[in-house]
Amino acid sequence: MSRKQKLHEPLPLDFDDVLTAISDEQRPAETSFSARPFLKWVGGKRSILDELIRRLPTTYTTYCELFLGGGALYFAVKPALAYLSDVNFHLIVTFEAVRDDVEGVIRELTIHSAHHSKPYFLEGREKIFTETDSTKLAAWFIYLNKTCYNGLYRVNKAGKFNVPMGSYKDPTILDEDNLRLCAQVLKNADIRQHDFAQKKPQKDAFYYVDPPYHKTYSGYDGTGFGDEQHKNLALFCRKIDAAGGFFMMSNSDTPFIRGLYDGFAIETVSASRSVSCKGGQRGKEQELLVRNYE
């Protein structure tokens, strides 16, 4: 079912049914060094960025990432137009706040840096579920991400963040320069909170699909991501293909996943894992890359 991508003139940019031309002035400005993910995230892609980038389609319209996480590929590519989504409410609020009010986020993180302690950390675990100001909520989320055990985001069945504080001697809670760079890259991104299936596949758009991996940790929002969800995701990827879009998916190298994507281009790559729910799971692992284009 894989198809060869045709070389053609740059395609018009679009969000769903609306075609939008992005001028050079609207593109993220070139910087002396690249924005890096401002969050640590289980399954982050920084170790295989080169592998992912060289497999991107030659041309596409909108860059779509439907399991955003830390957004490592997005920040590396810096697309002129992007659609970013995730089911995690706190994650999406944080990305929106960095895009829309980065100076406010920096101001709040300065306070958190000055007060960091175990009691303050425990206070933060409650604050992210009671705070109504999006900028303050985002700063609490970043603070917890930088100071919790193994950089893990995990909630219990009641939806409460329950990761203990990590044993870092001097965690980098605030990186002002990188946050400002991230805000600059994000300024042309449409950021939404929803399940992957709510995004309508579009012709010539590119979709990077990076779900919770099969048979690994999936406790990001208390609902899990099991075999049934992976089956639904595979059907969604086939809808992208049928609509004339491009997708690239990362996942575990298991017979189940290989079977779901039979007929597409499947490769293995070696990835390092530095953030995990269990320290013993960190290290080199083989994982799959699946594409519907050459």
pLDDT 10s digits, 224-260 = 788 999 999 999 999 999 999 999 999 999 999 999 9
- 39 has a pLDDT exceeding 50: yes
Q: Do domains 14-88+181-291 and 94-177 have the same CATH topology?
A: no
- pLDDT 10s digits, 258-268: 999 999 999 99
Pick the CATH number of 94-177 from 2.40.30.10, 1.10.1020.10, 3.40.50.150, 1.10.10.10: 1.10.1020.10
- 189 has a pLDDT exceeding 90: yes
Of the pLDDT bands very low, low, confident and very high (cuts 50, 70, 90), residue 3 is low
Buried b (16+ CB within 10 A) or exposed e, 134-170: bbbbbbbbbbbbbbbebbbbbbeeeeebebebeeeee
- 60 has a pLDDT exceeding 90: yes
- 276 has a pLDDT exceeding 70: no
In this predicted structure, what is the pLDDT of residue 24?
35
In this predicted structure, what is the pLDDT of residue 215?
80
In this predicted structure, what is the pLDDT of residue 110?
98
Fold of domain 14-88+181-291:
Rossmann fold (3.40.50)
Report how far residue 18's alpha carbon sits from residue 28's, in angstroms, rounded to the nearest whole number.
Answer: 21
Of the pLDDT bands very low, low, confident and very high (cuts 50, 70, 90), residue 27 is very low
Helical H runs in the chain?
A: 49-53, 72-77, 89-100, 102-115, 118-127, 134-147, 176-186, 227-243, 255-260
The answer to which of 38-42, 121-125, 212-216 has the lowest mean pLDDT is 212-216
For the segment 201-216, the average pLDDT, to the nearest whole number, is: 94
Of the pLDDT bands very low, low, confident and very high (cuts 50, 70, 90), residue 16 is very low
Of the pLDDT bands very low, low, confident and very high (cuts 50, 70, 90), residue 218 is low
Candidates 249, 103, 125; CA nearest to 184 is: 103
For the segment 203-224, the average pLDDT, to the nearest whole number, is: 80
- pLDDT 10s digits, 153-187: 888 877 788 999 999 989 999 999 999 999 999 99
Of the pLDDT bands very low, low, confident and very high (cuts 50, 70, 90), residue 283 is low
So where are the chain's domains? 14-88+181-291, 94-177
In this predicted structure, what is the pLDDT of residue 154?
84
- 18 has a pLDDT exceeding 70: no
- pLDDT 10s digits, 130-160: 999 999 999 999 999 999 998 888 888 777 8
